[in-house]
Structure 1
Amino acid sequence: MSATLPTPKYISFDIYGTLIDFQMGKTVERLIGDRLDADRLGAFKDRFGANRWDEILEYRPYNEILERAWRRTCAQFGLEVGDGDVDAITTDILEWPAHDDVPEALARMAEHFPLVALSNADDSHLAASIPKLGAPFHAVYSAEQAGAYKPRLRAFEYMLDQLQVDPSEILHISSHQTYDHIPMFELGFTNKVLLDRGYEPDIPWYGAVRMTSLDEVNRALGIA
């Protein structure tokens, strides 16, 4: 039997990883892949992700978050930071494409529901990325606007305040449980989808319904 989802007033999205293909691993490989063996390269990627997580708990512009996390990780692995490393990372982010399955399905969804972005990014990143998604957005909210990154509750509260809605009126779709669904559970968001792109394990306790494509979400919403 196919899953069904409650009809929301708004559908909100995480952007990077969920709708935009998160290609940080490729960037890291290009910058330092020739200086680490495969095992240490994998460990570097994991630590870089952990350091980004740690850095976002205090608000700074996202490019500064990236630079601090990159420098920390290089120091932890005994690597020198190249002169162009940080610029390469920030430039690559602006060039990442949408996942192949996104534009058509998202455009169909936008015909039925107003779409909202809630992203751990600056306005400049979203200005480059949102047009690649192939659908109109009712609102685009950034960490820069909120003054906080997810998983800070303040980021989600900012979206609720801007939309003037209760958590029960939103369907939130994300590929990241730790950044999105766990804090949202604490705020009373009951309508959540884990769009599983392989980043994190499914943790059913937090109430997100696991789906593997936006087409599946559309079917669960009754969109042909």
Structure 2
Amino acid sequence: MTQFRPKYVTFDCYGTLTNFDMAGAARRVYGERLSPEAMTGFVEAFRGYRLDEVLGPWKPFLEVVHNSIERSCKRIGIAFKPEDAQRIYDEVPTWGPHPDVPAGLSRVAKEIPLVILSNSMNNLIMSNVEKLGAPIHMVITAEEVGAYKPLMKGFEYMLDKLGCGPEDITHVSSSFRYDLMTAYDLGIKSKVWVNRGHEPANPYYEYTEIKDIGGLAAAVGLETALKRA
């Protein structure tokens, strides 16, 4: 565990803090229409197309979901209905945190400001943030930035808004492809990977691994200080 104590701890929200259940939502909509094998293929296609959809010019997140579902339907060979994409999108603000998040975040928030950089919309994210159970210093969305992660623009915007450099923060995510690869390329040395099982480990990107947010205090050098308090 690194003992670097950052000025800010910055986070991905969806998947890392919020239990971002896109796979479950897709199964709730399409599970009765597809065989188990086809459903597995649909979920994987939906995951891949979501990433592809955020790599171009910014668009509302509903369009990201809509286009990803439409492309997944085409790939699997079933009819696409716009109301199905809307139904999945409408689930997003109802999702709360992973069970380990409220206590783990609260421990760190007592000492270091917490910042969220999320691939979300201004009117969507706050419902999820309010469920985290800890004070958040700042929330920045892809809508505010005009770009989605893994593009660098959001990270650069965040650093400018915080008035600090990459050497001043610890960035926390469960995803290499959306967050930690970009953080590495931008020179953010202090990175924490929350191993939620979304992606395999990749030590090339020089991070501290934790199994859940309960391990974050130690990863940012607070464990000893908190024990002494």
Which TM-score band applies after superposition, normalised by the shorter structure?
A: over 0.9
Task: Supply the distance in 1 between the matched residues of 2:70 and 2:214 (Cα, whole angstroms).
Answer: 40
Partner of 2:27: 29
Partner of 2:188: 189
> Quick one: which amino acid aligns to residue 29 of structure 2?
L
Task: Supply the distance in 1 between the matched residues of 2:3 and 2:55 (Cα, whole angstroms).
Answer: 32
> Quick one: which amino acid aligns to residue 96 of structure 1?
W
| Off by >4 Å, runs of 4+ in structure 1 | none
Task: Supply the distance in 2 between the matched residues of 1:83 and 1:170 (Cα, whole angstroms).
Answer: 40
Aligned sequence identity (%) = 37
Tell me the SS of whatever aligns to 1:84.
helix
After superposition, where does 1:178-217 map in structure 2 within 5 Å? 178-217=177-216
- 8 Å Cα contact 1:190-1:207 kept in structure 2: yes
- 8 Å Cα contact 2:5-2:222 kept in structure 1: no
Give CA-to-partner distance per residue, 1:75-117, whole Å, 9 cap, x none: 1211112352122111111111111111112112110000000
Tell me the SS of whatever aligns to 2:197.
coil
- 8 Å Cα contact 2:6-2:169 kept in structure 1: yes
Partner of 2:62: 63
> Quick one: which amino acid aligns to residue 115 of structure 2?
V
The counterpart of 1:13, out of the listed 11, 14, 20, is 11
The counterpart of 2:41, out of the listed 34, 40, 43, is 43
Partner of 2:222: 222
Provide the aligned C-alpha RMSD in A.
Answer: 1.1
- 8 Å Cα contact 1:19-1:99 kept in structure 2: yes
Task: Supply the distance in 1 between the matched residues of 2:216 and 2:98 (Cα, whole angstroms).
Answer: 15
Q: What TM-score do the two structures reach when normalised by structure 1?
A: 0.96
Give CA-to-partner distance per residue, 1:26-72, whole Å, 9 cap, x none: 11111111222222211111111111111101210111111111111
Task: Supply the distance in 2 between the matched residues of 1:53 and 1:25 (Cα, whole angstroms).
Answer: 14
- 8 Å Cα contact 1:5-1:191 kept in structure 2: no
Partner of 1:132: 131
Gapped regions of structure 2 (runs ≥ 5):
none
Tell me the SS of whatever aligns to 1:12.
strand
Give CA-to-partner distance per residue, 1:189-219, whole Å, 9 cap, x none: 0000001100001111011111112221212
Task: Supply the distance in 1 between the matched residues of 2:127 and 2:107 (Cα, whole angstroms).
Answer: 22
Task: Supply the distance in 1 between the matched residues of 2:64 and 2:83 (Cα, whole angstroms).
Answer: 16
